[in-house]
Amino acid sequence: CLSQGILYPQDSETRQVRKIDGIWHFRVSNDSLLGFRQRWYSEPLSKSGSVIPMPVPSSYNDITVEKNIREHVGLVWYERTFYVPDTWRKQAYRVWLRFGSVHYIAQVWVNGQKVMYHEIGHLPFQREITSVLHFGAENRVTVAVDNTLTSSTVPQGYVDKIHTMDGVKTVQRYSFDFFNYAGIHRSVHLYTTPQIYIDDITVETDISGTTGIVYYNVSLGGLQSSNDEISCRVDLLDSDGVSVAHNTVVDNDNGFIGKLDVPDAKLWWPYLVDPNPGYLYKLEVRLSSAQWGLEDVYRLPVGIRTIHWTNVSLLINDKPVYLRGFGRHEDSDIRGKGLDMALVTKDYNLLKWIGANSYRTSHYPYAEEIMDFADEQGIMIIDECPSVDTDKFSPELLKKHKDSLTELIQRDKNRPSVIMWSVANEPRTQYKEADGYFKSIVDHVKSLDNRPITAAIAQGADYENAGKHMDIIGFNRYNGWYTDPGKTEIIQLNVEAEAEQWHKKHNKPVILMEYGADTMIGLHLYPQYIWSEEYQIELLSEHFKAFDNLRKKDFFIGEMIWNFADFKTDQSTTRVGGNRKGIFTRDRQPKSAAYHVRKRYFQLAFEI
């Protein structure tokens, strides 16, 4: 079952939120134990050695001019101070510290006291820190971040040694291509809740005729005395803030479960299906105690929609959808995987400009702020956990892989934009242990949520093993690139034949999750020649022919280009300054193919 709530910090009449982003102190530690032995967290970091400024949120790798920092393997330390007003103590607030994402392992101290340990990047974690704070005074937060990937981390990697004139050096190797950016990648929030607070809210929606149904489950935290009577009023507010349905339940149990009927409900529709896509209500939850009056208020965005699937289609509000989208990355120059709202906003403007209705959060969960935009703008998300190239299927790995899914579902379960869970990218399903492993992963996800499950299956995967536990078959294939580069004439035949084969084997809907060609912007070679802009257009066009034939046969439910934008990779001889399969450059300018894709995506939107 899901553990404690991880609701996004939100201001309300009962809560206060502060970001403690900005410039933190930073130090690289070349000896993994030194900082612990010398207790760097017990006094200001600058006392134990030199520090440099480091922005939060950001990856640390590309901020300095030091190769050693870019390629560092192991621990780095961050620290900053902050004030907490004394009024927070007088009002008996609980104070929480929440990290949106730290990659990969984070250990956190407040005023020298250890308060958190969290493993797995890209997912939020938090803890109440009231008891270790100095109210009306300065406080210090110290974070040790370890980016080392091993055979039992999610994703996996391994540590290797190379010999140099200065001795043996530790290096990190991994089989996926995107750069293993590290650091405090998303905002750090300090926020308050009352003593009795809304710990979590779960909603599920359904539709009956023109009535929308919202099932909710509110769980409380901080309950102590059982003789206080707690009541919970729940209102569903429309986009004008008008209450369209409400319930009040009095209870002093641990939570409140109920159902709201919304006559003439406005449904959540994907982009370009409806003139007003991404319609959101707000579930306003108000907790009151008989003894103290109003306790806590939280407002959760809710989209009313259903998801169903058959052996041939995926249906939103009982209407089959065809996905036109991309695989993506959280990636940009300088800040790496650090959250940048200017970039996020630009990306959604480009997604809409090009007519996409969906993308996959390849290859890890994206920031909550990014997911909010998807909910609001009707972009459908295939929500992926951080498992990439899963190999060496150990029980330890299985546990962590499941934890990553538990935390992902806990975070994103209420989002209307999330239409599928992707449990892995290119797992090594050709090994027989993969069968039991993925059965166990899929059973776990099914025990937590009822959305369909998929994975992006690689070339060489065994057809039987790879697809049998999934609800929807997603495959990645590089015809005309890794297979037969330059030979675009093989594409249509191969894509059609393979999609048919997947469907025949498993009798499930099929989606091409990745296809594409590296393309240097400005390189023009005609007739089409690999790496040129002409070649990218040609390769995509040949795929489009295959998709148009496949769509006539029903079971084919989507096409996703690899990639939305160029992104940084580990250093390799097949990459020129990174992976260049973007339709946009890394700084989000269109390659020639972007205009071509735009034409197709809009045509598809209005045809279907």
In three-state form (DSSP H/G/I as H, E/B as E, the rest C), the secondary structure along 127-158 is EECHHHCCCCEEEEEEEEEECCCCCCCCCCCE
- Min dist CB 426 to ligand GCB, Å, is 5
Across the beta sheet with 22-28, the strand order is 52-56, 22-28, 75-84, 137-146, 105-110, 113-119
- Min dist CB 30 to ligand GCB, Å, is 30
Residue 497: which of 569, 550, 444 has the closest Cα?
A: 550
Looking at beta carbons only, is 536 or 579 nearer to ligand GCB?
579
Residue carrying the six token digits 């650091």: 183
Cα–Cα distance for residue pair 72/67, rounded to 1 Å:
8
What's the Rg (C-alpha) of the chain? 25
Cα–Cα distance for residue pair 195/552, rounded to 1 Å:
58
- Min dist CB 474 to ligand GCB, Å, is 11
Tokens of 308: 């169903």
- Asked if residue 441 lies in contact with residue 403, where contact means CB atoms within 8 angstroms, the answer is no
- Min dist CB 574 to ligand GCB, Å, is 8
State how beta strands 183-184 and 188-193 pair: unpaired
- Asked if residue 314 lies in contact with residue 331, where contact means CB atoms within 8 angstroms, the answer is no
- Min dist CB 469 to ligand GCB, Å, is 19
Secondary structure element (H or E) that encloses residue 374, with its range:
helix 368-377
Looking at beta carbons only, is 415 or 580 nearer to ligand GCB?
580
Looking at beta carbons only, is 244 or 424 nearer to ligand GCB?
424
Looking at beta carbons only, is 521 or 605 nearer to ligand GCB?
521
Cα–Cα distance for residue pair 585/110, rounded to 1 Å:
41
Q: Which region holds residue 272: left if phi is over 0, alpha if psi is between -120 and 50, else beta?
A: left
- Asked if residue 63 lies in contact with residue 26, where contact means CB atoms within 8 angstroms, the answer is no
In three-state form (DSSP H/G/I as H, E/B as E, the rest C), the secondary structure along 196-218 is CEEEEEEEEEEEECCEEEEEEEE
Q: Which region holds residue 183: left if phi is over 0, alpha if psi is between -120 and 50, else beta?
A: left
- Min dist CB 518 to ligand GCB, Å, is 7
- Does 500 qualify as catalytic in the annotation? no
SS3 content of the chain, % helix, strand, coil (to 5): 25, 35, 40
List residues near ligand GCB by CB under 6 A: 176-177, 363, 425-426, 476, 514, 562, 579, 581
Cα–Cα distance for residue pair 325/323, rounded to 1 Å:
6
- Min dist CB 362 to ligand GCB, Å, is 6
User: Which DSSP letter does residue 330 get?
Assistant: -
Does the bond joining 527 to the residue before it have cis omega, within 30 degrees of 0? yes
Looking at beta carbons only, is 299 or 428 nearer to ligand GCB?
428
End-to-end CA distance of the chain: 39
Looking at beta carbons only, is 216 or 562 nearer to ligand GCB?
562
Cα–Cα distance for residue pair 515/513, rounded to 1 Å:
7
- Min dist CB 423 to ligand GCB, Å, is 14
Catalytic-role residue among 79, 330, 426, 514 = 426
- Asked if residue 423 lies in contact with residue 473, where contact means CB atoms within 8 angstroms, the answer is no
Looking at beta carbons only, is 191 or 562 nearer to ligand GCB?
562
- Asked if residue 454 lies in contact with residue 510, where contact means CB atoms within 8 angstroms, the answer is no
Residue 601: which of 557, 567, 559, 550 has the closest Cα?
A: 559
User: Which residues lie below 8 Å from residue 293, measured CB to CB, with a gap of 6+?
Assistant: none
Looking at beta carbons only, is 288 or 429 nearer to ligand GCB?
429
- Half-sphere exposure of residue 241, counting CA atoms within 13 Å on the CB side? 0
Tokens of 286: 């108000």
- Min dist CB 391 to ligand GCB, Å, is 14
- Min dist CB 528 to ligand GCB, Å, is 19
Looking at beta carbons only, is 59 or 111 nearer to ligand GCB?
59
Cα–Cα distance for residue pair 263/323, rounded to 1 Å:
30
- Min dist CB 459 to ligand GCB, Å, is 8
Looking at beta carbons only, is 425 or 488 nearer to ligand GCB?
425
Positions marked catalytic: 426
